[in-house]
Structure 1
């Protein structure tokens, strides 16, 4: 049946465009003010820069020690994604295929953990991490991200795995494949759409996270990009021109990654939500 362009469609498109422009307003302020002098920012934050101050980016790059903090953020984000994907995919697979009441209880526990605010467990978490020697350690931070990210990751994998026919696994077992081999050779390759979705969502969260790294990583050599950007704001001075330029530098790698992978987000989520 041919789809007709109606007045209702036109209104929906206008509303979508307006909402899109509203969401782009913060990006306009960040980018435009990152190209102004400090005095010009204080004078008028809404106006376009009179002279483009690309020197802000040069200074921000140097003061951030950008290559080092970028490397730290990249290591933490990649390592956290790897452990989350490996452990949570296996956990979700066992929870789906093990038809016992305890599996449902464990799954619901992971889902319930998603609603616990971080602030309510922040102090005991840091105290425990200190006792275990996990402070001032990127790998200690990765383990914490595994704990905090498991709920959502297992939830997404769980919904997707339920759509995979059990007959594929039974055929592999008949051919002599071990349970471990069934998962990694048969099931895991089929999880590519949701794995990409999980990777994107967790990367957005971990790359931009400020609170947990600020509590765990006290050594300046271990700072991530959000932590390094924060140090443009001192007790008596706030270097808005350099801070905004540093913020743009921190966003660019994530935008490139997101736009290159975004087509997989809806595909992965909808595949896991329809049975």
Structure 2
């Protein structure tokens, strides 16, 4: 009886333990960023979890905004992120719709190839050389093409499973009314994909918005983006060992993603629970 009682008590405690672990693993880094950004330069030399003696958060954010080219970097990031996300969602969902509706060995092989990009990283040197041959190296268009190619597999993986849950009868009814395949996709299928597209949107936005690796090799210093600006200023004399300014920059860089997630969180959760797991 004692063994059964202990097992039952542990099962009841498991959700609470899991919640504490999740809060600790996520909350601790967030708290470190916040309190360090609010400290003075001398207090922030050795970042820790202690509260600042005097809060300088607004002052530090103002200095970063003025000296760190935040607005210029945000505009550059939007110039790359918005077309990349829109393009990869549109073309990825089209490809996923076709692959989901074609039950053949060729479609199965194409689907496997399409999602292989999730585990096979692109060769950076080859990508840069190809962009140079096309005259797109160092341009926003080249960077958009790279991001679309990298994250197309993620969108196809998420959307294909969701499309298979949509009744084919809806598409057949539209076809009987004389709708072309493109109109069927645009008017019938695409509106039903909103939950899973919201999930894919936040994932792709997260990857592209925070990317510094591919952006450094493809566009270098020819276009300002927030991650590239942070990389440059963090290694420059202005921000050298100034952790309060670096973390203040991180807060400003993260705010747009927080807003996007807050607005789309219901659709994101719906997309994960309904389409992505089927």
- TM norm structure 2: 0.89
Deviates further, 7-16 or 45-54: 7-16
Q: Deviations over 1:81-131 (max 9, x none)?
A: 11011101111111122233211111101122211134xx11111111122
**CA-CA distance at 1:43 after TM superposition:** 5.0
Cα distance change of structure 1 residues 168 and 38 upon mapping to structure 2, 3 Å threshold:
same
Q: Distance in 1 between matches of 2:277 and 2:76?
A: 38
Q: Does 1:253 align with 2:234?
A: no
**CA-CA distance at 1:273 after TM superposition:** 4.4
Q: How many residues align?
A: 268
Cα distance change of structure 1 residues 273 and 15 upon mapping to structure 2, 3 Å threshold:
closer
Deviates further, 128-137 or 228-237: 228-237
Cα distance change of structure 1 residues 14 and 65 upon mapping to structure 2, 3 Å threshold:
same
2:70 counterpart residue number: 66
Q: Is the 8 A contact 2:95 2:156 kept in 1?
A: yes
Q: Distance in 1 between matches of 2:128 and 2:47?
A: 42
2:53 counterpart residue number: 50
Q: Is the 8 A contact 1:232 1:242 kept in 2?
A: no
Q: Does 1:223 align with 2:224?
A: yes
Q: Distance in 2 between matches of 1:144 and 1:84?
A: 11
2:149 counterpart residue number: 147
Deviates further, 238-247 or 24-33: 238-247
RMSD: 2.0
Q: Distance in 2 between matches of 1:271 and 1:50?
A: 47
Q: Is the 8 A contact 2:74 2:226 kept in 1?
A: yes
Deviates further, 229-238 or 84-93: 229-238
Q: Distance in 2 between matches of 1:10 and 1:73?
A: 44
Structure 2: runs of 5 or more not aligned? 1-7
SS where residue 104 of structure 1 aligns?
Answer: helix
**CA-CA distance at 1:207 after TM superposition:** 0.8
2:43 counterpart residue number: 40
Q: Distance in 1 between matches of 2:121 and 2:51?
A: 39
1:101 counterpart residue number: 105
Q: Distance in 1 between matches of 2:70 and 2:235?
A: 19
**CA-CA distance at 1:196 after TM superposition:** 1.0
2:235 counterpart residue number: 234
Q: 1:202 aligns with which of 204, 208, 228?
A: 204
- TM norm structure 1: 0.90
Q: Deviations over 1:203-259 (max 9, x none)?
A: 111111110111112235x21111111122336733322111111111112112112
Cα distance change of structure 1 residues 185 and 15 upon mapping to structure 2, 3 Å threshold:
closer
Structure 1: runs of 5 or more not aligned? none
Q: 1:158 aligns with which of 146, 157, 160?
A: 160
2:180 counterpart residue number: 178
SS where residue 38 of structure 1 aligns?
Answer: coil
Cα distance change of structure 1 residues 17 and 260 upon mapping to structure 2, 3 Å threshold:
farther
SS where residue 140 of structure 1 aligns?
Answer: helix
**CA-CA distance at 1:274 after TM superposition:** 5.7
Q: Distance in 2 between matches of 1:235 and 1:64?
A: 11
SS where residue 231 of structure 1 aligns?
Answer: helix
**CA-CA distance at 1:21 after TM superposition:** 2.4
